Structure 1
Amino acid sequence: MEVTSYRPETASVITYVSKWKKRIPYIIAYGVLGLTTLPIILMYLWLLLSSFSKQMKYGFIPVHFTLENWKFLWMNVEHGGGTLPSIWTATWNSFIFSSTLTILEVIIGVMAGYVLARIEFPGRQALMKTTLLLHAFPSVALLIAVYYILNFMGLFDSLWGVVLVKTALQIPMTAWIVKGFFDDVSWDVEWAGLIDGCNRLKVWFTIVLPLIKPGIAAISIFSFLSGWSEFLLLYTFILSDENVTLSSYLQRLISDPNLVNYGLLSAVSLFYMLPVLLFFIFTQKSLMQVSVGGGKSV
């Protein structure tokens, strides 16, 4: 009977092949992700190169480095026979709009979510079933009605008026999401606080809210990003230069297709995205800790 001798080379080859077989699913997954994200990466790269060049040869090769496209940072831009408002005014208005929207949405959404999760009241089931339906209405379908309401209240061409409209449109979804987090908090936690002598409000504020901090962080981030990227409502109901936001500022740059300065447009677009990127970098840790609840029945 012939005995096969042990060869270290054969064992190493088998080990090498086995490792590569284990890596194949990861290679395929990263390959698919790379192919799907490549157009987005190229888009951002084109914006960056275009913002620092006088022109793009063949549409994608930058020619002549320049800072001319970034002059909007220190002076008002002449465009289409007129002068655009200061970019810093638009930035401040965008920040005020997004921050106010976030504060209102978080406060109202957290209170509404707690009520839906914990308190029994007439019509609760019907309200729960129609919450998502209210969020499904597109903003464009409500523009005429919103115009009459804002005009009647004297809030047309006012950031505060658009903040109220945007908040009202987003509260249903926010309340639904927050309700899921409250559902994951055990009733025993609240009962323990009530037995210790705390009233319902104190239990909610000092015991329950700290337990859903990841949920509050998530809706805060999404609310701010939603406000920062809002365009339709602001474009429709804001007319004056002193109330212009960055999204409307960008629209003015492309209002006339024959006068579009793509270098300037690229620079302003990068400036518009920069706060969002920084905001995401500093808040991604909170987003990674979020596990959305809501699996329980209502």
Structure 2
Amino acid sequence: MTSNFRSLPVIALLTILSLPLVVMYAFTLVDSITDAEPGSLIPSEFTFHHWRFLWDDTTGRGSVWIATINTFIFAGSTAAIVCATSLTSAYALSRLNFPARRFFLAGVIILHAFPTITLIIAIFLILQFLGLFDTLIGVIMVKAALELPFGIWVMKGFYDTVPWEIEMAGVQDGASRFMVWRKLVLPQVQPGLSALLIFSFLSGWSEFILPLVLAPGSDAQVLSTYLAYFLLDDSLEVDFNLFKSVGLFYALPVILIYLAFQKKLMNIYGGGSKG
């Protein structure tokens, strides 16, 4: 009972800090489905007019559903590439003693520390040379490459906590190194893989600079650039309630992902189990 009372100040502080965000999102939701008189904060009528982008092209850059599909492809492909590559690369860095291993590890963390914006001109020139500029696959490759250092370091940390005895026992029982990795080691690092998959997907979903600069055409646009177009295009009359509706539509998958995987996100620990 005493511990419950001790936690009350913390709960009260977190409630006060969270309240402005909750009120902001509540106003955004209300404004997206209502109209109000100019200068008034009180809604005067209920309407779905601000959600017309779902069935009508409001920007002149194509349907929002095309942008949504592109965003799912972009985020999903980025997460898949990062997870698949990080799983094998991190295992090699954790278990194999190959030449220049320490130099490679230092290089990976240095690459992760580099700001993306400082590389944008070089990336732009490379994509033009390869013929991948203004294509979705080009942006996916760039985003995955920039996320890989983080993914490799995360998975290496999980592999490092898996005891060698597990692998040695599997090899002594006649299993191949690949089977030992797949059957014995991989289940131990599953929490790290789940976390990396979720965070890589969310990172791709929220990416704005790379699609804006490297895929400016309407065929490869994602939801972040679709949303920004409402403010960047001077030919469009700014409808802030419409802008808020698109923003809610853009945030909805992130909210659903959090609700579906919140237990996994809350139970992430720093490595594999020793069982």
User: What is the TM-score normalised by the length of structure 1?
Assistant: 0.86
1:187 pairs with 147, 160, 164, which one?
164
Map of 1:100 onto structure 2 = 77
Equivalent of 1:53, from 31, 34, 42?
A: 34
Counterpart-to-counterpart distance in 1, 2:66 and 2:48: 21
Matched, 1:264 2:234: no
CA distance in structure 1 between the aligned counterparts of 2:40 and 2:194, rounded to whole angstroms: 41
Q: Which residue identity is paired with 2:22?
A: I
Q: Give 2:264's aligned residue.
A: 286
1:68-87 Cα shifts (integer Å, max 9, x gaps): 0011111211x4xxx23101
Structure 1: state its 5+ residue gaps. 1-18
The answer for the alignment partner of 2:7 in structure 1 is 26
Aligned residue number for residue 178 of structure 1: 155
1:67 and 2:44 aligned: no
* RMSD (Å), alpha carbons: 1.7
Q: 2:25 aligns with which of 12, 23, 44?
A: 44
8 A contact 2:189–2:271 mirrored in 1: no
In the aligned structure 2, how far is the partner of 1:62 from the partner of 1:137? 47
Question: Helix, strand or coil: the match of 1:90?
Answer: helix
- Conservation of the 8 A alpha-carbon contact between 2:79 and 2:200: yes
Instruction: Give the 5 Å matches for 1:73-222.
Output: 73-77=54-58, 79=59, 83-222=60-199
Give the SS at the match of 2:232: coil
CA distance in 1, matches of 2:102, 2:212: 37
In 2 relative to 1, CA 141–101 (structure 1 residues): closer, same or farther, beyond 3 Å? same
Residue type at the aligned position of 2:232: S
- The letter for the 1-side match of 2:256 is L
CA contact (8 A) 2:71 2:223 kept: yes
Q: Distance in 2 between matches of 1:36 and 1:259?
A: 35
- Alignment deviations for residues 209-236 of structure 1 (CA, whole Å, 9 cap, x no partner): 1111111100000000000000000000
Change (3 A) 1:120 1:23: same
For 2:192 and 2:6, how far apart are their aligned partners in 1?
33
Secondary structure in 2 matching 1:218:
helix
Change (3 A) 1:56 1:188: farther
**CA contact 2:162–2:271 (8 Å) conserved in 1:** no
Amino-acid identity (%): 39
TM-score by length of 2: 0.93
Cα distance in 2 for partners of 1:55, 1:91 equals 29
Question: Within 2, Cα distance between the matches of 1:191 and 1:48?
Answer: 56
2:137 is paired with a residue of what secondary structure?
helix
Name the CA distance, whole Å, in 1 between partners of 2:194 and 2:177.
23
Contact 1:190/1:208, CA 8 A, preserved across alignment: yes
CA contact (8 A) 2:81 2:144 kept: yes
